[in-house]
Amino acid sequence: MSLPRVAVFKFASCDGCQLSILSLEEDLLLLAQRIDIAFFPEASSRLLAGPYDVAFVEGSISTPEHLEEIKEIRAQSAALVTIGACATSGGIQALRNGVEGGLAHQVYPHPEYLDSLADSTPVSEHVKVDFELWGCPIDKVQLRKVLADLLAGVTPRLPGMPLCLECKRLGHPCVMVSKGEACMGPVTRTGCGAICPGMNRGCYGCFGPAELSFPAGREGPNAQALADQFDSLLKLEADEIRRKFQLIHSHAEPFKAPFLKEKTDE
């Protein structure tokens, strides 16, 4: 009986999520006994053509070549899983999206030589994605669970509640209350272990928009409500508030600007 064939692909990204796979270390060696790692350039020169049972994709779609390649990967993969902020929401490079005239002319003396798309976009905007593993970078414990579920033929399921719940369970004080520091925890999904609040600093939103917010039953995070609190409680300027949301997951729909409603004279 042949082993399930797994592949790992990279587009526009920093390689951090692939390194998270490698950081499984001994667990990766155990997995290698149950799967055939057919394509993983970051880890091996053994690069086999598809089809694949599971394809993990890191990175955003940023060039015409990316568009063609992701379609080929989708056609060769029974299950396609995007890993990390770049693949799930365009990543930091999506900050260029919507910039008038683009950023290339501000960075390169001859941008006409570049062959890139106007926007950096998540994989899901171009092909069907079976599961998204969020994070910047992804959490290796969540990765291990997703891979184990896929190999067992089970649909992966990870918690999508706001990070605030994890902070409460771990006994971390709220940095917005105790320090008056802006924190993205109320609208960011759990999964990182609340690292930043555990170090007494605000969440950066690395794991992207939470699936549920308050009141119970709301679909997606209430970004506007948090932006209003940044304004009224912390007295942040509108541009600073936008930067809080538009950093790592700027192309994620709940985090797109504008977040702060225009004030009107009473």
pLDDT band, residue 126 (cuts 50/70/90): very high
Residue (of 180, 184, 195) closest to 137 by Cα position:
195
Q: Given this model, what pLDDT does residue 26 score?
A: 82
Q: Averaged over 252-261, what is the pLDDT?
A: 73
Query: Helix, strand or coil for residue 20?
Result: helix
Q: Given this model, what pLDDT does residue 220 score?
A: 75
17-57 residue pLDDT tens: 999 998 888 887 887 788 899 999 998 899 999 899 999 99
Q: What is the percent of the chain with per-residue pLDDT over 70, rounded to a whole number?
A: 91
Q: Given this model, what pLDDT does residue 258 score?
A: 56
Domains and CATH numbers, the chain: 5-151 (3.40.50.700), 163-255 (no CATH)
Whole-number CA gyration radius for the chain: 20
- What does the block give as tokens for 119? 């926007």
Helix intervals (H) in the chain? 16-22, 26-31, 64-76, 84-89, 104-107, 140-151, 163-170, 175-178, 195-198, 223-232, 238-245
* d(C-alpha 73, C-alpha 51), whole Å: 9
pTM: 0.88
198-251 residue pLDDT tens: 999 999 999 999 986 444 445 678 888 999 999 999 999 988 998 899 889 988
